[in-house]
Amino acid sequence: MGVTVLKKNTKIPDFLFCAMAAGYVFFTFMHTLTRKIIFEPNFCDFKRYYDAARLLGVGNIYQLDIGYHPLFFLIFKLFSFLPQRYAGIIWCIVMISLVFISIKLMSSFIDKRFTPHSSLPTIFVLIFITFSYQPLMEDLVVGQVNIILMLLFSLMAFRFQKNNILSGLCMSIMLLLKLQYGLFLVLFLLRKRYKVIASTIFFYLLWAGIFSVFIGGEIMGLYFKKLFFFIGPQDRFALLAGDEFFLPCIFGVLSRVFYNSNWLSMRVVKIIYIVLSTGLLINTYRYIQIKKVTDELENIYAFIMTALLMLFITPFTECHHLTILLPAFFFLFYDTIEKKGNNDKILYLSAFFLIALKYSLNQFPSFHSGISSLLSMGKFYGLIMLYVLVLRLMKNRQGISGERIEDNNKTRGVL
């Protein structure tokens, strides 16, 4: 089945402890989620999808605050025939089901690769990591689509590495939902996986053709016009710094710290944002080698680094967008166990707890902007630590690969 519950080298106390920890966080998570859904129904983002799906074919869906491909709302019409509250609950159940599919997928991969090196029951470890992760709760409560993106990321990074067509299929669906995932196309370009790019374009155009058959092509123009609004040169600082919804990205940090600054204009802050993002982009792609790489582990690091890069430089990254990192935390938990020394383990734990926890300082206006807002940026610091961890692992892996290539060359020379 791919899910190992009790391994031969697992001690009964270890098994029971893992079962208790996993059970505690799971039932606490489900209790909190059920309470929010029944007594504090929000589904604010889901409501926009719901309204847009009902409006599709009747009016301009992009008059709402949405930027998804119209095909998404055509599929979403299945939910729009139900009352909104019941549709939201069914959507939440579907998303939780996708979470368990992701856990099953990752447990199969981890058991296959890491079981000889760990006595911890894989399924309990993954359940603990998943249901102690606050961005997942936020994603479910607001009715977002990041769990779908998380599953597609898991398939692309851990299952379909050698399958260009299925990787392109996953990539095209990710682009339908959130255009910033196009950064992964740069990764495929640098890795010379041109067939993935070609299949992505093919499937993306196929989705556009299917939509045009059912609805018509006029709305596609409205869609691209809305995209320009989202990525265009707007002044978003006033939107980002005035409330408790902190954005854990470079733009979000700058908007908080320098909002209403008397000594630094917002135009200069935007330039700083562009410079920092460009520097991070260059540094990341330095380590994602510009050649065809067949090392499975190094490819996984490259996928995780690209995901982190996307979260850093996208100017509207929200906390629920960090849901995509759950498969990375699954994998890195076992990967860091194998490493000698404690530095990688400390980085992993620090990154996980900083990102997984919910912070209360954001609720106080005094921490919304200025220098004091630095105290409420735990998730951003967690992203930095996770980036440093993956960068260390990538550099070490590339060093090992380089030594292997040299050894092979020497062997060939001898022969």
For residues 291 and 189, give the distance between their C-alpha atoms in angstroms, rounded to a whole number. Answer: 9
Asked whether the predicted pLDDT for residue 415 surpasses 70, the reply is: no
Residue 89 pLDDT > 50: yes
User: pLDDT, tens digit, for every residue of 201-246?
Assistant: 999 888 878 777 766 667 777 777 776 655 544 444 444 444 445 7
pLDDT at 119: 53
Question: Residue 146's pLDDT is what?
Answer: 93
- Selected residue with higher pLDDT from 400 and 139: 139
Q: State what percent of residues in the chain have pLDDT above 70.
A: 81
Predicted confidence at residue 3, as pLDDT, reads: 42
Mean pLDDT of 396-413: 53
Q: Where does the pLDDT of residue 264 fall: very low under 50, low under 70, confident under 90, or very high at 90 and above? A: low
Q: Is 351 in contact with 247 (CB distance < 8 Å)?
A: no
Residue 258 has pLDDT above 70, yes or no: yes
Per-residue pLDDT tens digits for 188-197: 888 888 999 9
Average pLDDT over residues 288-305: 78
Res 242: pLDDT? 45
| pLDDT for position 116 | 54
> What is residue 404's three-state secondary structure?
helix
More confident residue, 136 or 72: 136
Question: What is the SS3 string spanning 16-30?
Answer: HHHHHHHHHHHHHHH
Residue among 222, 205, 227, 236 at smallest CA distance from 318: 236
| Average of per-residue pLDDT across 1-16 | 54
pLDDT value at position 88? 86
Number of H helices, E strands in the chain: 18, 0
What are the angstrom distances between the C-alpha of 105 and each of 130, 161, 405? 13, 14, 32
Computed over its alpha carbons, how large is the radius of gyration of the chain?
Answer: 22
Q: State the chain's mean pLDDT as an integer.
A: 80
Query: What pLDDT shows up at residue 412?
Result: 38
pLDDT in tens, 133-157: 999 998 998 888 999 999 999 999 8
What is the spatial distance between Cα 322 and Cα 324, in angstroms, rounded to a whole number? 5
Question: Can you read off the two tokens belonging to residue 62?
Answer: 């992009």
Cβ atoms of 293 and 191 within 8 Å: the answer is: yes
pLDDT higher than threshold 70 for residue 118: no
**What whole-number distance in Å separates Cα of residue 328 and Cα of residue 324?**
8
Nearest-angstrom CA–CA distance, 230 and 271:
18
User: Which one is predicted more confidently, 133 or 44?
Assistant: 133
Say yes or no to pLDDT of 98 above 80.
Answer: yes
Rounded to whole angstroms, what are the CA distances from 109 to 112, 146, 160, 228, 408? 5, 21, 12, 39, 29
CA angle centred on 321, ends 141 and 227, rounded to 5°: 105
SS (H, E, C) 307-348: HHHHHHHCCCCCHHHHHHHHHHHHHHHHHHHHCCCCHHHHHH
